[in-house]
Amino acid sequence: MRDAATRELTPEAAQVLVQVHRLLWQATNEAFAAVVHRRDPRAAPLAMSCSRLVDLVHELVPPSHLEELADRPEAVGADPVELVRLAEALTRTMPVDRFPVGMSEVVVLMIDTVRDFS
């Protein structure tokens, strides 16, 4: 019987993970910039949440796609919460069981982050 933990990841799902990683990376940079420049007390927890999400998604990206993670966008003044919201919306483009085990935790954390910091 096929086990949920040993499913093979489709290239489309891997591509979504790479894009989610990119958005979360930028969200982390934007939140860090807010910590440094704007002195917003809520920016530090937001930056830490985004940074944690980046690490969790990194663990899910298959080795064949790690090369694509080299594209790491800098802060340009975007809203980090909006970027997390976009990343969460991206994960809705395919059923959660197409992603590796551990994705549901990432999705829940993204929803919590958007809820807590909106």
Instruction: Judge contact between 101 and 11, C-beta under 8 A.
Output: no
Identify the CA nearest to 80 among candidates 103, 41, 110, 39.
110
The contact pattern for other proteins, residues 65-84, with x = CB under 8 A and - = no contact, is -xx-xx--------------
The contact pattern for other proteins, residues 88-107, with x = CB under 8 A and - = no contact, is --------xx---x--x---
What is the SS3 assignment for 2?
coil
Binding window for other proteins (CB under 8 A); candidates: 10-18, 75-83, 86-94, 109-117: 109-117
The tokens for 113 are: 């982050």
| Other CB atoms within 10 A of residue 25 CB | 23
By CB under 8 A, name the one of 10, 37, 89, 116 that touches other proteins.
Answer: 116
DSSP letter assigned to residue 39: -
The contact pattern for other proteins, residues 14-53, with x = CB under 8 A and - = no contact, is ------------------x--xx--x-xxxxx-xxx-xx-
Nearer to other proteins, 93 or 118 (CB): 118
**What contacts 100, CB < 8 A, 6 or more positions away?**
7, 9, 60, 62
DSSP letter assigned to residue 75: P
- Site for other proteins, rule CB under 8 A: 1-4, 32, 35-36, 39, 41-45, 47-49, 51-52, 55-56, 58-59, 63, 66-67, 69-70, 96-97, 101, 104, 111, 115-117
